[in-house]
Amino acid sequence: MRGAECIFPSIYSSNHGYLMEECKKVEEAGFQTLHVDIQDGVCSSEISFGMKLVKLLRENSRMEFDIHVMLYELESYLDRLKGLQNVRAVTFHPQSLRFPARAAGKILGMGYRAGLAFALHDPVEQYGFMEKMVSSVLVCTASVDGLGNLYNPWSESYIRRVRAVFPTQDIVVDGNINAGNLKAVREAGATHFVMGREIFGASDLNGKIRELENILQV
């Protein structure tokens, strides 16, 4: 698997003043999956994109979308995703829900794959009962620290905990993933890598892709 296949550029870290151009840039560079955060500022620390903008991105890109929803009123919002084409997975945080399996079932019922997302303080072992419902688990590798949301090296031991609970699922890492920590999270068990600043901040995108592929040895 090439780096451009297992690395998901996060459009949230792009220049929003040139959103379509930024989307086209990573598509033309060979990336196949775009990571799209839908954040409400309540369940998450920031506000990102509404559904109108997500649909506009969908209309203007051939990449599949990896959708990460961080929403307080999650279940009432999920219906708005119905009919969205070329979606890799819809990933949500189960801790905020009384019935997380119901949300996963709703996602599956819309024809999408479901994913779970965890912060480093979350008790992942409590959600092993959902193993058969989900195809991927996202680990937030940076805490909301007020210092730039830096990568937390404790993520590597947490990834191993996730792998023990979800032995066959994809493990996606998201949170200041870059060339400096890519090898460590891969060796810990991560299979897919969300990158925002590392991709959209690169002065030489093709050179950055080659650097990352060398680290991944693909």
pLDDT tens readout for residues 7-41: 999 998 988 889 899 999 999 999 999 999 986 54
User: Per DSSP, which regions of the chain are E strands?
Assistant: 7-9, 33-39, 64-70, 87-92, 114-118, 136-140, 170-174, 192-195
* pLDDT score at 46: 64
Q: Order of strands across the sheet with 64-70?
A: 7-9, 192-195, 170-174, 136-140, 114-118, 87-92, 64-70, 33-39
pLDDT tens readout for residues 40-96: 544 455 655 777 888 888 888 999 999 999 866 788 788 888 888 999 999 999 988
Q: Which of 137, 169, 173, 168 is nearest to 155 (CA)?
A: 173
Residue 46 CB contacts under 8 Å (≥ 6 apart), including other chains:
39
Which tokens is 25 given?
């840039």
pLDDT tens readout for residues 195-209: 999 999 999 999 999
* pLDDT score at 43: 42
Question: Would you tell me the crossing angle of helices 51-59 and 19-28 to the nearest 10 degrees?
Answer: 40
What spatial distance separates the first Cα and last Cα of the chain, rounded to whole Å? Answer: 6
Model confidence pTM above 0.85: yes
Count of helices and strands (H, E) across the chain: 9, 8
Q: Length of the chain in residues, anyone?
A: 218
